[in-house]
Structure formats: structure tokens, C-alpha cells
A = this chain, B = another copy of it.
Amino acid sequence: MTCLVPAPVHVRPSPDDSFLITAETRVRVSQDASRIGDYLAETLQLATAADGEISLSLHGADPLVGDEGYQLSVTRTGIALKANTETGLFNGVQTLRQLLPVDGPRVVDGGEVLDHPRFAHRGAMLDVARHFFTVDDVRRFIDQIAQYKINVLHLHLTDDQGWRLEITGWPRLTEVGGATQVGGGPGGFYTQREFRDLVAYAASRHITLIPEIDLPGHSNAALTSYPELTCDGVAPPPFTSIGTATGFSSLCTDQESTYRFTEDVLGELAALTPGRHLHIGTDETHATPEEGYVKFVRRTLDIVRQHGKQAIGWHEILRAGPPEGTVPQFWSKTDDDPRVAEAAARGHRILLSPANKVYLDMKYTPDSPIGFKWAGYLDVRDVYDWDPGSYLDGVPEHAVLGVEAPLWSEHLEHRSHIDHMAFPRLPAIAELGWSPGQTHGWDDFRRRLATHAPRWTAQGIEFHPSTQIPWAI
């Protein structure tokens, strides 16, 4: 019970009370918890039964654990998991999985856990625009992050180098804009059916998918597909390199054709997305006149609202004075935008993705094989050792919606590159989002994290064996 990541709120280890799972062990499920019971039984390769040593229940959990927490008890005679919601049970199952040894007899550490998250939003972002990743790649990533109680997958679906989601009213977006990526490869895109399947797969792992259409900048793939989105009516050539000057492209904010496009795209996106949030980008719009930017963002926010959704935007969105409920995602490597604290004071919840702390596309060290370094080298301690609750002046803990780790894909040509950049850093960031501040401590964390390496190997994750972690003592 002393190797869990993220660290639970309360743990009382009781080594003498370990429980041995055998082939005869049964998972007992009450009717309302049968879905998670089946999932647990499948995960542990056990049968379910009307009675059994491992029980799951949606009754009797301490109210303190809330909507996402759980209580877990392991004794010599059995395992009892209680929560108020299916999501709580699912999170408890992730804890239980970590209590099993990776190999050998299945002895589950004895003791008690009471647990619930610090922040509502514990996210990972995957950029499928710069390099395309297949449905299988994304499902694999979902399975990886679910283990660490991450509950949001933000998919960056469009950028200068590619458009990755079928929009039925605008077919050239994927026919043309989806056929490119960094380096000149063939790119790719998700059909609406594939996208719905991804949403459902994420939901089966209690993860909400937040799709991003980056507007009005980072839009070269759209402009290449439809010249009527440009001010001069001329489609620019495809862009397949890594920009030294980001923010060179913009939808034309002075034309109604742009707003028909935005309405159609976000309308279809809203219909595909059961979650409450749509991400509309709004970052690095150096090619958009300020007046046009403000007008565009306000109209786009209206469109999002009319489709029953709330908007998230990168923190530049605050320049447009967005309405209450809009979430600014802070990504700067310096705390230099006073609008963020002002927004927090007005009641906005801030999503924290400071580039110098959680950008997973940064190199670990100068010796890393891939990655950027503009926000610094980020080894495990760099991403772990900061406090989201007090990071930005004027943004106290209650104003923080959560923590999200973006993985931009300019340099990621293969899913093993996702593994390399995300592990072991993403579990560290997941702990910042879930665990209470009082459990924070580098020395204990690195010891716990070290024990996860054999789990990653068993799952085929090609993690980076950072020299900061005592993999063997």
C-alpha cells in the first residue's frame, strides 16, 4: 500500500492482513455495480458470482469520498470496495490493480484506503494534428492514463499541419487537410464513427474526451482545403514542417463564410461530444488583427453556447473577455499575463498547463533523443515538484479547475515516442492533480514511482528510465 501513484488521501497499511487471490476467488457484485464488477473480474481474470471474496458496492461509502473517490479494505478474508458512483469504483479498481504484484502469487497488500481527488480536471492532451495517431494508438494511450486516475483526454484535432476529424458538410477538410503531417507523411483522420468509438472507449475508462478545433489561428490545414476561409480567396500550400514562427495562419475574421464554417464545424462537434466542453484553441493568433480576434472569439463563444456546451480556450482567450464558465487554459512558461489572475477574481476556473512544468514535448535532458527545449529541460522532478494550488499569483487553489499535461507531436513519429515522453512524467503530473498537498514529497514519490517500472514493461510501455528515479536501490 506504500507504492501507490497517485498517493491516496489516507492509507493504513496492514501487512499482516494481505489477501491471496487464487483461481477460485470470485468477484461479488451488487446489481447496480455490475459494470465495474465485470471490468474488475476481466482485469483480474476472475469469475463473478452472487457471493465472493472481492465485493464492490455503491452503498455505504463514506460521504467524504464524493463523486470520484472510494474506500478500499483488504483483509485476509477478502477485499471490499465502496464508492458513491461508478467512477469512484473505477478509481478504486485502479488502486487495487496497483496493490497486486506485477508477477508471482497474487498477494494483495493488506490495509485500508480512503481516497478522493484534489482537482476535478486531471488531464492529458495528445496532439494528433502534427503527427496523426490511429484509433488504436489513442485507445492504448487511454488505457495507460486511466491507471493514474486521469479523467480527461484533450485531443488537439487540428493545426497548421493537419485536420483530423471528418466534418460532413466540409469534406475537403479531411480529404485535403487530413492528408498531410509534419515531415510530409500521409497524415490521416478519424471518421465521425471512429471518433464516436473513441469517445465511448474513453467513457468506458471514465475519461471525458475534450476535442479541440484550434481557431482562428493554427488553421493552415483548413485554409488549404477551403480558400473561402482566407481573406484573399487564395488557398495557401500545405504546411508540413515544424514552424519556427508559429501563428502564421488565420481564418479571415471579416467574412461570413468563416462564421458559416465555424457554425458547421462546432455544430457537428457538439453533436459528437457528450462532454460539456469544447476546446476552441484561440492561441498564438499573430496573423489575426486584434479587433478581428476579439470579434471572432466572441461570435465563436456564442456558437458554442448555442450548442449547449462550454468553451475552453488557451489563456489568450481572455483577451476577448469571455463569459463566466469559459475555462482559460494557462500554458505560458512565465507568469506574465495579469488577465489570468483577473479572470480568477471574476470567478473563472483556471486549467493549469504551464509549459515549463508540464509540457511533455520538452526534452528530459540535453541528451534526450527527441523533443523541444524552449520551455526548458523537464526531468521528472521538474514536472513533479510544484504546487498547482499556489503556482500562479492571484490564482488560489479554489480557482484551479485542474492540471493538464499537453503532449504536442511535432517530434512524435511513432507511438513509442508517446511512451517515451509520457512515462514516467505523466504519472508524476497525475499525482499533482489527484493527491492532496500533504502527501507531496519528492523522496517518497520517486521511491513509489520506481516500483511501477515493471508494470510499464509488462504493458509494453517504452518508458524513459530517468536517472532521477531509484529504479533499483
Contacts and interface: CB of A to CB of B under 8 A. Distances in A.
Interface string A398-426: 00000000000000011111001000000
A413 B371 CA distance: 13
B414 A369 contact: yes
A343 to B, nearest CB: 41
A413 B369 contact: yes
A416 B369 contact: yes
A245 interface: no
A374 B462 CA distance: 25
Contacts of A413: 369
A472 interface: yes
11 contacts: A103-B473, A367-B415, A369-B413, A369-B416, A416-B420, A420-B462, A457-B457, A457-B465, A458-B465, A460-B465, A462-B462
A457 B453 contact: yes
A454 interface: yes
A373 B459 CA distance: 25
A461 interface: yes
A35 interface: no
Interface in A416-473: 416-417, 420, 453-462, 464-465, 467, 471-473
Nearest to A419: B465
Q: What's the dominant secondary structure at chain A's contact region?
A: loop
Of A369, A420, A459, A461, the most chain B CB neighbours within 10 A belong to A369
Given A103-B473, A453-B457, A472-B102, A465 B462 contact: yes
A296 to B, nearest CB: 39
A152 to B, nearest CB: 27
Contacts of A473: 103-104
Contacts of A465: 456-462
A464 B463 CA distance: 9
A453 B102 CA distance: 13
Interface in A299-350: none
Interface in A357-389: 367, 369
The 3 closest A-B pairs by CB, nearest first: A369-B414, A458-B472, A103-B472
A416 B467 CA distance: 14
A68 to B, nearest CB: 28
Contacts of A414: 369
Given A103-B473, A457-B457, A460-B465, 13 more contacts: A102-B472, A367-B415, A369-B414, A369-B417, A416-B420, A453-B454, A455-B472, A457-B465, A458-B465, A458-B472, A461-B465, A462-B464, A462-B465
A414 B457 CA distance: 21
Contacts of A467: 460
Contact of A454 (B104, B417, B472): B472
A461 B473 CA distance: 16
A461 B472 CA distance: 13
Interface string A200-217: 000000000000000000
Nearest to A451: B103
A347 B319 CA distance: 82
Contacts of A102: 472
A162 to B, nearest CB: 19
Contacts of A420: 416, 462
Contacts of A462: 420, 462, 464-465
A460 to B, nearest CB: 5
